[in-house]
Amino acid sequence: MTDDGSSEPATASRDRGEQRAERSENGTDADADATDAAGGDDGTETGETDRTDPVEDVEAPEYYLSRELSKLRFNERVLAEATDERNPLLERLRFLSIFTDNMDEFFMKRVGGLKQQRAVEITEPSPDGRLPAEHWREVLEYAEPMARHQATCYRDELKPALSEAGIEIVAYDALTDAQRAELDAHFEESVLPTLTPLTADATKPFPHISNLSLSLGVLTDAGDGPTFSRIKIPGNRPRFVTVDEKHVLLEELVAANLPQLFPDVEILEHATFRVTRNAEVRRNEEIAEDLVQRAEEVIEQRRFATVVRLEVEASMSERMLSVLLTNLDVSDREVYRLPAPLDFSDFDELLKADRPDLKLPEWTPQPHPRLSGHADRSIFEEIQADDLLVHHPYHSFTGTVQAFLDRAAADPDVLAIKAAIYRTASDSKVIQSLIDAAENGKQVAVMVELKARFDEQNNLEWAKRLEEEGIHVAYGTIGYKTHTKTALVVREEADGVELYSHIGTGNYHSETAKHYEDLGLFTANRDIGQDLVKLFNYFPGQSLHEDYRELLIAPGNMRERFANARAGEDARIAAKMNRLEDPAVIAELYRASQAGVEIELVVRDICRLRPGVPGLSETISVVSIVNRFLEHSRIFSFHNGGDPEYFVGSADWMERNLDNRVEAVAPIHDPRLQDWLEHVLELALSDNRKAWEMAPDGSYTQRRPGSESVRNAQATLMAEVREDRDRSRQ
């Protein structure tokens, strides 16, 4: 296989004990270079820790990493994909864009929350011992070099490489006279009508600067001193304008034509800037008349929320910057001076170029072999025969989840459909299936979560549409965010009413299912179906059941069931999740490690646990995978004395998931499906191309195959699902 992981054959996972021995020899194993648990992400000294005596206080703050700094380290790993020359050029550009989106969300959510806590002088430390003000300062200091690294990566690596490959991004001034004339004509016809300069002077207030909008600040002088104006670069126009296959940034074209916007005045200066606002606005749910009102108010408040970051072009003068600082009420610490261009979020426009030589091979999700190889059996008959586990985006969402809902909507024997919608596509076929079901006389009930951050508006619109169709809609619950990804189909059959359940790790979103790695269980297990009946009755009701036959439900029995699963002798734990943050879970993992339990974790994103600390977590290893698909599934595996338990579902090991959200995790009983989940875990844990190993101080080192064969978990799964497809066609 090539080193970019584009065409790896399916291979068996290698024994990981052998790999750990090799890493120890190479000096990368945590035990081989143990650091003091109190050192690391806060820059304090590191030193030797007693290797024999177990740590007594496993809940001490020094054994918990900063959630915010851990998130930034994840974003560093994302940025590393943009700098990795082994990746195709346009794939690197895609990760440069993803990094911008990730950092925007981080500042809106996490930095915004810290700034709020700092403003009201909260004195309760986080589990790692930091106060909000301290945390806020550290985060801003850590993030600034990352932003500079992104800018230099583009300027020094990607832009020259793109130019060499024939994708030229050039300055307006570098164009010929004829090319500039062509672009100027385009500006006058298609861009100028969309622009509205907003000037701040004695008669006009400082304009509102919308969140994440790219702006051009302009200082002019009409004879009575400098005046500031803001021009919003339109987000609904392409970021690049093209002439003779040369790409020019839209803001440069606007800057070159400023005299058309400010005639008969002297233009003193222009520079781009970008504002990030706090998304952590809150409305008291008890005061709001209903959750619809609350969601609408949150959307409105975000428009005018506190500024948490100001990015400015490095060439901006102190005079213009002082205008922004004064009127936006931000401190010098919150200002990031960066080389132009600012905002790489829409640079992925260039991925539309017909250049397969600069991209990873295209991936088309494949049919599930059990749903494509038995044309004589319906999807309900297939689920009734055996539980079915689907894996996106390796398996098609359309051919599995969507087919399940479409068949349920049309099947005359289906009596009712219930679904929980957290996020869905703006043109959702899932929603259309539910509407079709109602029109066909089914009883349809839908839980639409109006508190799904940044999707409130989309979910409000869908909820209203569903109600207009006569469908019963529940809007979530006071005090909890409904994060479960579940659906239930009630069907009349010869032997009575049957229940068909779907429990997933990802949203009912056809687009993200093409790019997010997720799992979904289809089962006719009666106990799981009855558990879902209880859960769906809670959404429009008043109280949540605490007793369930099979499902692990938060905030009901999930925390206790996971704690029991971690107990036992001769145990092994292997788990895959997005984030590991809950202090109580981490403390239990530390205790299990002290008892000798082997614990192998795949944590994509935030991880507050310190692996490999002598006397505390010597048997714990953590890897993170950053690859073409976003690793999003949650798999939990517990081996207690040879009695394995496997679970999949919507919850990470985070306090919010276990205590403050409605979540569902399902057991996997079928030995064949258990073996397959173990295979998925093994592939992730043995990956040496896209996996990063975590050290006790919270830092990560990317694995390199060296002289070994390349093991890319996602490439292997793609190859395997193609083989399954080919076998099903024979």
Active-site positions read 483
In a 3-state reduction of DSSP, which class is residue 444? strand
| Contacts for 656 with CB less than 8 Å, ≥ 6 apart | 481
Handedness of CA 264, 268, 274, 275 (dihedral sign): negative
In a 3-state reduction of DSSP, which class is residue 100? helix
Angle at alpha carbon of residue 417, lines to 412 and 423, rounded to 5°: 135
How many Å apart are CA 633 and CA 676, to the nearest integer?
14
Q: Which of these, 508, 486, 677, lies nearest to 576 by C-alpha position?
A: 677
In a 3-state reduction of DSSP, which class is residue 274? strand
263 preceded by a cis bond (ω within 30 of 0): no
List of E strands, 431-474: 443-448, 472-474
| Contacts for 239 with CB less than 8 Å, ≥ 6 apart | 249, 250, 346, 347, 349
Whether 494 contacts 414, CB under 8 Å: no
205 preceded by a cis bond (ω within 30 of 0): no
Q: Which of these, 446, 471, 427, 622, lies nearest to 29 by C-alpha position?
A: 622
How many Å apart are CA 720 and CA 9, to the nearest integer?
8
Q: Which alpha helices (DSSP H) does 617-670 contain, by range?
A: 655-659
| Contacts for 98 with CB less than 8 Å, ≥ 6 apart | 78
Q: Give the pairing type, strands 661-667 and 643-649.
A: antiparallel
Integer-rounded Cα Rg, in Å, for the chain is 27
| H or E, element range at 169 | strand 168-169
CA distances from 703 to 66, 368, 612, 681, 691 (A): 24, 32, 17, 17, 6
In a 3-state reduction of DSSP, which class is residue 519? strand
| H or E, element range at 523 | strand 516-523
Angle between helices 16-25 and 671-686 (to 10 degrees): 10
| Contacts for 111 with CB less than 8 Å, ≥ 6 apart | 68, 136, 139, 140, 278, 308, 309
How many Å apart are CA 97 and CA 150, to the nearest integer?
10
How many Å apart are CA 283 and CA 293, to the nearest integer?
10
How many Å apart are CA 126 and CA 433, to the nearest integer?
45
CA distances from 135 to 129, 138, 416, 534, 622 (A): 10, 5, 49, 41, 24
- Report which residue type is found at 153: C
CA distances from 682 to 16, 602, 709 (A): 8, 10, 16
How many Å apart are CA 328 and CA 168, to the nearest integer?
36
Whether 680 contacts 390, CB under 8 Å: no
